[in-house]
Amino acid sequence: MANVIERPLDLLNNSKGKEVIVQLKNDRQFSGVLKAFDIHINIVLDNAKEMLNGELKRNYGPTFLRGDTIIFISPA
Amino acid sequence: MANVIERPLDLLNNSKGKEVIVQLKNDRQFSGVLKAFDIHINIVLDNAKEMLNGELKRNYGPTFLRGDTIIFISPA
Amino acid sequence: MANVIERPLDLLNNSKGKEVIVQLKNDRQFSGVLKAFDIHINIVLDNAKEMLNGELKRNYGPTFLRGDTIIFISPA
Amino acid sequence: MANVIERPLDLLNNSKGKEVIVQLKNDRQFSGVLKAFDIHINIVLDNAKEMLNGELKRNYGPTFLRGDTIIFISPA
Amino acid sequence: MANVIERPLDLLNNSKGKEVIVQLKNDRQFSGVLKAFDIHINIVLDNAKEMLNGELKRNYGPTFLRGDTIIFISPA
Amino acid sequence: MANVIERPLDLLNNSKGKEVIVQLKNDRQFSGVLKAFDIHINIVLDNAKEMLNGELKRNYGPTFLRGDTIIFISPA
Amino acid sequence: MANVIERPLDLLNNSKGKEVIVQLKNDRQFSGVLKAFDIHINIVLDNAKEMLNGELKRNYGPTFLRGDTIIFISPA
């Protein structure tokens, strides 16, 4: 973590433009490039890929993910 | 993504008038033309089609979808 | 959609006095005439009919439906 | 609906002192006389009867029902 | 209901110092003497007894119950 | 209850520094010494013990418990 | 607990830069070094490890965990 993380959203800010893994409730997982987020943790991923139990389920282009379904977000 | 995405709602704004896929909790999926959205992510789709496990379940006309049941929205 | 839909609630406003289908969480569905709604998407239907898996379960008269149980609302 | 319903709570206001059916999440249903409600849809029923799958489960006297467990309320 | 019930919380106010039944989500039920409540319907019961499917599960002394797990409260 | 309980949080205040039982959703139960709480009912227990179905599952030291997973709190 | 805990968040503040265990809803557990938290209990862990039923499931680097999925946080 090259940049200082003072608040949780700092990690998301540092991850803009980079590949992230997003775990949703109900075992869905997305990977993609983090384009934007807001304080509700609504996010937009570019080149989003939906994974289910580790296998690619479907390719999406840019995708809006609603914050209240997100469990965690981690830079890939 | 031709238009710049600074905030998550920018993607929805760019998608107005275009076909989108809307994933709901409980495996329901809708496709349709995004007509409107608000900050709660309540949306209106025109020519809404309800899909269940990849098969057309029912055609609706314009449909109001309540934001708190939405997992993700992606331009088709 | 004869009337312009700028915000999601515009569709509900246009649907007042008309037959709508209301999908609730847990597979319950209501049809009836939309009489009123508020910003929480609490609604009142007149001549409400409760459907379960496509079959009429029970006739109600006017019925208050609490917004947080609603998935979608569509003019019939 | 003899009285005009402009907002959803108007139906509850018109139903004060009358028998109503209250459907809760998890298949519980109450009937009783609506004595009071507030904007959270917390309500008080008098002579409350709890029904489960159409059969009387238990008689209560006055009962406070918390709004967030309510699906719908209909005059009997 | 000897005292007038104008708002739902009036019933709780009238029940202070009296035995009440409290139904929680997930089939848990408590009985005890209502000592205090607040607008979130957080309550304190004295001599609280936890019931599960009609049988005494455990005696507690004074117990704080968080409002968002409560379905209904009824004077015993 | 030696001290007067006027509001539900008074019971928690009286229980500071004492052993309490904390029931969480999903059948988890903690016991420990109540060190702190806030209006969201977030709490800190010292010498926290996690119990599952009445058996000790694991010893923790000080533990932060998020309020929205708590069903009830009772002095041991 | 060397430092005084007056409010629940004090424990999180004392744990910054230290290894913690984070229990999520749905039996997921993370361990890692607590880097940041906010009032929603959104947190960032460094060197996050996801555990499922006591076994290492996957190593992550820095990870943002959304507060509303957290049950408890305990210094390791």
Per-residue pLDDT reduced to its tens digit, G20-44:
999 999 889 999 999 999 999 999 9
Q: Does G49 touch chain A (CB under 8 A)?
A: no
The reply to whether E69 falls in a domain is yes
What's the rounded mean pLDDT across residues B51-70?
93
Which of D24-28, G53-57, G58-62 has the highest average model confidence (pLDDT)? G58-62
Q: How confident is residue B29, by pLDDT bands cut at 50, 70 and 90?
A: very high
Q: How distant is the Cα of B37 from the closest Cα of chain C, in angstroms?
A: 6
Q: What does the alpha-carbon distance between residue G8 and residue G1 come to, in Å, rounded to a whole number?
A: 13
Closest CA to B74 of A26, A75, A35, A16: A35
The pLDDT, as a whole number, for residue A2 is 52
Q: Is residue B42 part of a domain?
A: yes
Q: Do D10 and C61 touch (CB under 8 A)?
A: no
Residue A1 has pLDDT above 70, yes or no: no
Q: Sort out which chain G residues have CB atoms less than 8 A from F68's CB and list them.
A: 68
C43 with D71: Cβ contact below 8 A: no
> Residue F29: its pLDDT value, please?
95
Chain B residues with CB-CB distance to A46 below 8 A? 1, 5
Cα–Cα distance for residue pair E31/A16, rounded to 1 Å: 53
The residue of chain D with its CA nearest to that of C48 is: D74
CA distance C45 to chain B (A): 16
Q: How many CA atoms lie within 13 A of E22 on its CB side?
A: 32
Chains B and F touch (3+ CB pairs under 8 A): no
User: Residue A49 has what pLDDT?
Assistant: 97
Reported confidence tier of residue B4, pLDDT bands at 50, 70, 90? confident
Least CB-CB distance to E38: which of F7, F25, F71? F7
Quote the domain boundaries for residue A28: 8-75
Phi, psi of E74 (to 5 degrees): -140, 135
- Using the Cβ of A62 and the Cβ atoms of chain B, whether some distance falls under 8 Å is answered with yes
Assess if residue G2 is contained within a domain: no
What does the mean pLDDT of chain E come to? 93
The pLDDT value given to residue F31: 97
The mean pLDDT of chain C is 93
Tell whether the model's pLDDT for residue E26 goes beyond 90.
Answer: no
CA distances from E43 to B12, D41, D52 (A): 43, 18, 26
Chains D and C touch (3+ CB pairs under 8 A): yes
Q: How far is CA D70 from CA B56, D7, E28, E40, G18, in A?
A: 31, 18, 18, 16, 44
Helix (H, G, I), strand (E, B) or coil at B75: strand
Among the partner residues D24, D44, D68, nearest to E8 by beta-carbon distance: D44
Q: Chains A, G: CB contacts under 8 A, how many? A: 60
Beta bridge partners of G33: G19, G46
Q: How many domains does chain D have?
A: 1
**Has residue A2 been placed in a domain?**
no
From CA A76, how far away is CA G41, in angstroms rounded? 23
Alpha carbon distance D67, B8 (integer Å): 32
CA distance E44 to chain D (A): 16
Query: Is the minimum CB–CB distance between A3 and chain G shorter than 8 Å?
Result: no
The answer to whether position C42 is within a domain reads: yes
Q: Please name the helix (run of DSSP H) or strand (run of DSSP E) that holds residue E9, with its range, or none.
A: helix E8-14
- Amino acid making up residue B57: K
Q: How many other CB atoms are found less than 10 A from the CB of residue D1? A: 14
Probe site for chain D from E23, E42, E72 (most D CB atoms < 10 A) = E72
Task: Provide long-range contacts, Cβ within 8 A and 24+ apart, for C9-13.
Answer: C9/B38, C9/B42, C9/C37, C9/C39, C10/B36, C10/B44, C11/B35, C11/B36, C11/B44, C11/B62, C11/B63, C11/B64, C11/C73, C11/C75, C12/B64, C12/C37, C12/C41, C12/C43, C12/C73
Residues of chain D with pLDDT under 70: 1-2
What is the model's pLDDT at position D32? 97
H-run or E-run covering E16: none
Each residue's pLDDT tens digit, A37-54? 999 999 999 999 999 888
- Provide the pLDDT for residue B47: 96
3-state secondary structure chain D: CCCCCCCHHHHHHHCCCCEEEEEEHHHEEEEEEEEEECCCCCEEEEEEEEEECCEEEEECCCEEECHHHEEEEEEC
Q: Which of B28, B44, B68 sits opposite C11 (nearest CB)?
A: B44
Q: Which residues of chain F neighbour E60 with C-beta distances below 8 Å?
A: 21, 72, 74
- More reliable by pLDDT, B3 or D38: D38
Distance CA C61, CA D1 (A): 9
d(CA B60, CA B57): 10
Q: Which residues pair with A49 in a beta bridge?
A: A31, A59
Chains E and A touch (3+ CB pairs under 8 A): no
Q: G2 pLDDT band (50/70/90 cuts)?
A: low
User: CB E36 to CB F6 under 8 A?
Assistant: yes
G16: Cα separation from own chain's centroid: 10
How far does D72 lie from chain C, in Å, by closest CA? 4
How far apart are the CA of A9 and the nearest CA of chain B, in angstroms?
A: 14
Share of chain C above pLDDT 90, in %: 86
* pLDDT value of position A19: 97
pLDDT in tens, A4-13: 899 999 999 9
Q: By three-state DSSP, how is residue B45 classified?
A: strand
d(CA D5, CA D7) in angstroms, rounded, equals 6
**Residue of C66, C70, C73 to mutate for D, most D C-beta atoms under 10 A:** C66
**What is the C-alpha to C-alpha distance for residues C2 and C11, in angstroms, rounded to an integer?**
10
At C2, is the pLDDT very low, low, confident or very high (cuts 50, 70, 90)?
Answer: low
In one letter, which amino acid is F17?
G
- Specify the pLDDT at position E31: 97
E34: domain CATH number?
2.30.30.100
In a domain, E1, yes or no: no
Say yes or no to pLDDT of B49 above 60.
Answer: yes
CA-CA distance, C10 to B65, in Å (whole number)? Answer: 13
Please check the confidence at residue B1 and state whether its pLDDT lies above 70. Answer: no
Tell me the average pLDDT of chain B: 93
User: Given CB atoms, is E4 within the 8 Å cutoff of chain D?
Assistant: no
Contact residues on chain G for F38, CB-CB shorter than 8 A: 7-9
With respect to residue G1, please indicate whether it lies within any of the assigned structural domains.
Answer: no
Q: What local confidence, expressed as pLDDT, does residue E53 receive?
A: 80
C-alpha A51/C-alpha E36 separation (Å) is 49
Candidates G48, F53, C2, C68; CA nearest to D67 is: C68
Beta bridge partners of E64: E44, F73
CA distance B68 to A68: 8
Interface check for C43 against chain D (CB to CB < 8 A): the answer is: yes
- Read off the pLDDT of each residue in C43-63 and give the average, rounded to a whole number: 93
Within a domain: residue D2? no
ipTM above 0.85, yes or no: yes
Q: Is the pLDDT of residue E1 over 60?
A: no
Angstroms from G26 CA to nearest CA on chain F? 9
CA distance B61 to chain A (A): 23
| Yes or no, beta carbons of D65 and E75 under 8 Å apart | no
Range with lowest mean pLDDT among B45-49, B70-74, D54-58, G70-74: D54-58
- pTM for the model stands at 0.93
Calculate mean pLDDT across residues E24-53.
94
CA A53 to chain centre: 17
> Which class for E23: exposed (0-12), middle (13-18), buried (19 or more C-beta within 10 A)?
buried
Q: What is the DSSP letter of F63?
A: E
Give the pLDDT band (50/70/90) at residue C44. very high
Q: What is the pLDDT of residue B52?
A: 84
Determine which helix (DSSP H) or strand (DSSP E) holds B12, and give its type and residue range.
Answer: helix B8-14
Rounded Cα distance between F35 and F48, Å, is 11
User: Between chains, do A1 and G68 touch, taking CB under 8 Å as contact?
Assistant: no
Task: Indicate the residue type of A36.
Answer: A
Chain D positions touching E25 (Cβ under 8 A) are 26, 69
The pLDDT of residue B2 is 52
The two beta strands, E28-37 and E19-24, are antiparallel
Using pLDDT thresholds of 50, 70 and 90, give the confidence band for residue F53. Answer: confident
